[in-house]
Amino acid sequence: MNIIIFGPQASGKGTIANKLHGKYGYSIIGTGNLLRNEIKKGTKLGKTIASCIDNGNLVPDELMFEIVKKEIKNARSGFILDGFPRNMKQAEMLEEFLDDIKKKIDVAIYLNVSNETIMERLSGRIVCENCNENYHTKTKELIPKTPGICDKCGKALTRRVDENPEAVKTRLEWHKEQTEPLREYYEEKNILKIIDSEGSPDEVMAKVEKIIKNIV
Ligand code: AMP
């Protein structure tokens, strides 16, 4: 099964993608994490990417798509796209590519949250700088066992550079303008599911699983 998970920042995309990977083994193609990994390598490409991401702007479509294409080709079973497509051009490039390699998206799940929830979630979000696992200082299920340390790999947890107020505002504007219209695009293709993502990670995951089970 190939799944798109989309929604605004802090809507739970990464958390749900991790849960789906853990339970069903689908490969996660998380574009934010892929880009952050490239930045960590300190390459010229990484520096170009950082200059976009740190201000909350999107990286150029072609560059993003080259990275995604490689990941889709490498995915063994199903895959979960977390953070891609983020605009209409990316959605069209993806569709054309999947047609070429005789694959398709089975469902596009939109995680719906209010701006208030986004702000609250962002205020406590911490991530592992090594393995990209998400944590939260207040959400019970996401609190790390040892404060400031990743449960999975033992490395330090940090705040994301692009979660300063200015970058957050820019990302929300990008989302409204460019990503939200994708709901219509996938609705027309009859693969859109909108989920209320205000609840706990387990509650949201239960809704996602219900959808997936109805498709299989
Ligand atoms: P995320 O971790 O999904 O919130 O992504 C972090 C940042 O990476 C975004 O704010 C963008 O700057 C960049 N990014 C992630 N996915 C994409 C994409 N599909 N197209 C362009 N830029 C992206």
The tens digit of pLDDT for each residue in 98-137 reads 999 999 999 999 999 999 999 989 989 999 988 888 899 9
Structure token digits, residue 205: 């995951």
Pocket of ligand 1 (CB under 6 A): 9, 31-32, 35, 52-53, 56-59, 64, 83-84, 86, 90, 162, 171
- Sign of the C-alpha dihedral computed for residues 79, 216, 14 and 189 taken in this order: positive
Looking at the chain, the whole-number percentage of residues with pLDDT higher than 70 is 100
On whether the CB atoms of residues 147 and 52 are closer than 8 A, the answer is no
User: Ligand 1: distance of its center to the CA of 32 in Å?
Assistant: 5
The pLDDT value recorded for residue 139 is: 87
Reply yes or no on whether 125 is catalytic. Answer: yes
pLDDT at 165: 86
What's the confidence (pLDDT) of residue 29? 97
Q: Is 76 a catalytic residue?
A: no
CA distance 68 to 85: 10
Q: Which atom of ligand 1 is nearest to the CA of 171?
A: 10
pLDDT at 132: 86
Which atom number of ligand 1 is nearest to the Cα of residue 90?
A: 19
Q: What is the pLDDT of residues 49-65, one digit of tens each?
A: 999 998 888 999 999 99
Residue 216: predicted pLDDT: 75
pLDDT at site 88: 98
Q: Rounded distance, CA 106 to CA 21, Å?
A: 16
- Return the half-sphere exposure (C-beta side, CA atoms, 13 A cut-off) of residue 14: 20
Q: What is the pLDDT of residue 73?
A: 94
- Position 50 scores a pLDDT of 94
Q: Is 121 an annotated catalytic residue?
A: no
Torsional sign, CA 205, 207, 208, 210? positive
Query: What pLDDT score was predicted for residue 159?
Result: 92
| The pLDDT of residue 177 | 96
- What's the whole-model pTM score? 0.91
Greatest Cα-to-Cα distance within the chain, rounded to the nearest angstrom: 47
pLDDT-derived band at 77, boundaries 50, 70, 90: confident
Report how far residue 116's alpha carbon sits from residue 109's, in angstroms, rounded to the nearest whole number.
21
pLDDT tens by residue, 154-203: 999 999 888 888 889 999 999 999 999 999 999 999 999 999 999 999 99
Is residue 140 over pLDDT 90? no
Return the SS3 of 12: coil
**Helix, strand, or coil (residue 109):** strand
pLDDT at residue 76, rounded to an integer: 84
Query: Rounded distance, CA 35 to CA 43, Å?
Result: 12
Beta strand 107-112 with 125-128 is: unpaired
Structure tokens at 27: 């490969």
Residue among 171, 167, 189 at smallest CA distance from 180: 171
Pick the catalytic residue: 36, 86, 121, 193?
A: 86
Return the beta strands (E) in the chain as ranges: 3-6, 27-30, 79-82, 107-112, 125-128, 134-136, 157-158, 192-196
Ranked by mean pLDDT, which of 30-44, 82-96, 127-141 comes out on top?
82-96
Annotated catalytic, 160? yes
How many angstroms separate the alpha carbon of residue 101 from the centre of ligand 1?
25
Q: How many CB atoms lie within 10 A of CB 13?
A: 25
Q: Active-site residue 159, yes or no? A: no
Alpha helix segments (H runs only) across 41-87: 44-53, 61-74
d(CA 84, CA 165): 23
CA of 1 to the centre of ligand 1 (A): 23
